Amino acid sequence: MPQDAPFAVKKIILPVDMDHKEQSARALDAAAQLAKACDAKLYVMTSAHPLGDDIAEYPEHHKPEFEKYIKAAADRHDVAVESMFRHHESAEKMILEAAEETGADLIVMGTHDPKLTDHLFGSHASHIALHAPCSVMVVR
């Protein structure tokens, strides 16, 4: 990265919703390209509800699928990726905590076409952009 850049990017966090992997694909591509260009560490994170999706399932049930997804992404983009699998009740809180914990310079997030509730309450991406301790790149 040029020395006159407004900020150095050394740690990037990409939150991924495993229920909507296809919507996260563009954000993953952007984050991987940035990580390679800036020689930055890329953290890809996801979360599961602490109680699981149903009574017979633990959150860790989803971890193997996430690890497989991360490995495929790392291989496809030829970039090192560190996975972060978390339990949460609030996705925004989990992302903000991870940004603080890792000392992230940038959060890359995918977003969707806004729904009525997004206009009334804001989206995950807007909440993160307003409260993050670092820059946020929103990929449509």
Residue 6 lies in a domain: no
Instruction: Calculate ∠ Cα 129-138-9, nearest 5°.
Output: 80
Q: Which residue has the higher pLDDT, 133 or 55?
A: 133
C-beta neighbour count of 121 within 10 angstroms: 10
Is residue 27 in a domain? yes
Please check whether residue 111 lies inside any domain of the structure.
yes
Any residues with CB less than 8 A from the CB of 42 and at least 6 apart, and which? 12, 14, 31, 32, 35, 79, 80, 81, 82
Closest C-alpha to 18, from 82, 86, 92: 86
Two tokens, residue 112: 């969707």
pLDDT for the residue 22: 80
Residues 29-70 pLDDT 10s: 999 999 999 999 999 999 876 665 555 555 677 789 999 999
Count: domains in the chain: 1
- Residue 122, phi then psi, degrees to nearest 5: 90, 160
pLDDT in tens, 65-123: 999 999 999 999 999 999 999 887 788 899 999 999 999 999 999 886 666 555 455 57
3 within domain boundaries: no
Residue 1 resides in a domain: no
As a whole number, mean pLDDT of residues 13-18 equals: 92
pLDDT at position 130 is: 93
The reported pLDDT for the residue numbered 60 is 75
Q: Is residue 86 part of a domain?
A: yes
CATH of the domain at 104: 3.40.50.620
Phi, psi of 87 (to 5 degrees): -110, 140
**Whether 27 contacts 95, CB under 8 Å:** no
In a domain, 5, yes or no: no
Domain assignment of residue 74, given as a range: 11-139
Residue 78 resides in a domain: yes
- Give the confidence band of 1 by pLDDT, cuts at 50, 70, 90: very low
